[in-house]
Amino acid sequence: MKLKKFLSSILLVILLTFSVTSYANIDDPDAWDYIWLDEAVEEGKNTKEPQILSRYVVAYDRNSKTVIWGKNENTPTPMASTTKIMTSIVMLEQLGTDRLGEEIEVCKEAAGTGGSRLGLNTGDKVTYNTLLYGLLLCSGNDAAVQIAVSVSGSVENFAELMNQKAAELGLEDTHFVTPHGLDRDGHQTTALELAKITDYALNNPKIAEVVSTKQYTVTINGYPKTISNTNELLGYLDGVNGVKTGFTSKAGRCLVTSVVRDDLNLITVVLGADTRKIRTQDSIKLIEYIYKNYKQVNIEELVQSEYESWCKINNGRIFVYKGTKRRPEIYLEERKI
């Protein structure tokens, strides 16, 4: 009986080790088979309409502020760690960039926060800059809580600031309960409103700089620690310069991506994917489909060009019978859209 228990224990340890290793490999971009990523690129370029499996999706043009492609983009849903985009907005608007070098002491509440972590312990000395990179690169929930406590005194107070900002941005279906995005009742947004939050965030040069960083060395208690960006498309797909990943059991796999190619500046939001592979494939297919089938057009220049061509053809054909002028004055009326 003792031998059976011993062997069972060994088998359990082996299985747990295998499971943890397998999960770690899935989340490690360097361990991925990038062949299927290349296949997703080709599919996106050659499809008439992308087949998207994720539940809530939007492609949003930053220049015109319009939706190019959507799927349930106005349906409220949990958004996991993509929440941290708003966390970074509130943090920087409350502190400014001048205080990023300021050192603070990590509280017990932050150190005890689970999920993805920067790796903070109670009493650690860190700067706001370290917390910001830890928030947006390795998606540290501990960094999120410490930011909330240091900036506003508590997670609850900080969530109120997040909701005030959402209201300022005119977001009607977005509500924050935490700064990290772990599942809580009432913590939600929509794919479209998250795209709008991201659009606003990227106007902040510091946020744009951080989310476009592949690796960064932070300092905790004076010791360096190199952290990596969890965004698998950064450094792989042409034009990608951010933004944020996310995962919880309620939200599913989430990915917000910013892409700039030529004059088209795109944000895609993918929420509610069943696997990381699906969220990545969906993002790639949508991005490549948009850039294959859409381009930025200056309507004013297009209208003016068409008008000038029309004038060349028709100016000599138009006259007024019994008018004060035989040849009318022709001009293009200005209208504000």
Tokens of 47: 């499809």
**Where do runs of H (alpha helix) occur along the chain?**
2-27, 35-46, 84-95, 108-111, 128-136, 141-152, 155-168, 191-201, 205-211, 276-293, 299-314
Closest among 152, 154, 110 to 134, alpha carbons compared: 110
Among residues 81, 116, 150, 152, the one annotated as catalytic is 81
pLDDT < 50 positions in the chain: 3, 6-7, 10-32
- The catalytic residue among 54, 88, 116, 139 is 139
**pLDDT (0 to 100) of residue 97:** 94
Q: For residue 44, what pLDDT is reported? A: 73
**CA neighbor of 284 nearest in space, from 71, 52, 95:** 52
Give the active site residue among 71, 84, 165, 244: 84
Residue keyed to tokens 């939200």: 251
Q: Report pLDDT for 148.
A: 98
| Domain architecture of the chain: domains with CATH | 31-293 (3.40.710.10), 299-337 (no CATH)
| Cβ neighbours of residue 319 closer than 8 Å, sequence gap 6 or more | 326, 327, 328
333: Cβ–Cβ under 8 A, 6 or more apart, which residues? none
d(CA 260, CA 254): 20
Task: Compute how many other C-beta atoms are within 10 angstroms of the C-beta atom of residue 36.
Answer: 13
Tens-place pLDDT, residues 272-326? 999 999 999 999 999 999 999 988 777 777 777 787 787 778 776 777 777 777 6
77 phi, psi to nearest 5 deg? -160, 155
Q: How far apart are CA 117 and CA 136, in angstroms?
A: 11
* Long-range contacts, stretch 129-134, CB < 8 angstroms, 24+ apart: 129/100, 129/101, 129/218, 130/218, 130/219, 130/220, 131/91, 132/88, 132/91, 132/92, 132/100, 132/206, 132/210, 133/210, 133/213, 133/216, 133/218, 133/227, 134/218, 134/227
Give the pLDDT score at 8: 52
Per-residue model confidence (pLDDT) at position 10: 47
* Packed helices 155-168 and 84-95: angle between N→C axes, nearest 10 degrees: 90
Q: Is 175 exposed, middle or buried, given 0-12, 13-18 or 19+ CB atoms closer than 10 A?
A: middle
Q: Which two tokens stand for residue 300?
A: 């004013």
Four-point Cα dihedral 14, 16, 22, 27, nearest 10? -150
Residue 139 annotated to the active site: yes
Strands (E), 56-112: 56-61, 66-71, 103-105
**pLDDT the model gives residue 302:** 73
The residue among 225, 71, 78 whose CA lies nearest residue 143 is 225
The DSSP secondary structure of 191-222, one letter per residue, reads: HHHHHHHHHHHTTSHHHHHHHT-SEEEEEETT
Active site residue 84: yes
List C-alpha distances in Å: 202 to 9, 164, 281, 284: 51, 19, 24, 20
Tokens at 237, concatenated: 């797909």
Looking at residue 172, what is its pLDDT? 97
Whole-number pLDDT of residue 246: 97
In this structure, the number of other CB atoms found within 10 A of the CB of residue 275 comes to 14
pLDDT value at position 336? 61
Identify whether the C-beta of residue 290 lies closer than 8 Å to the C-beta of residue 261.
no
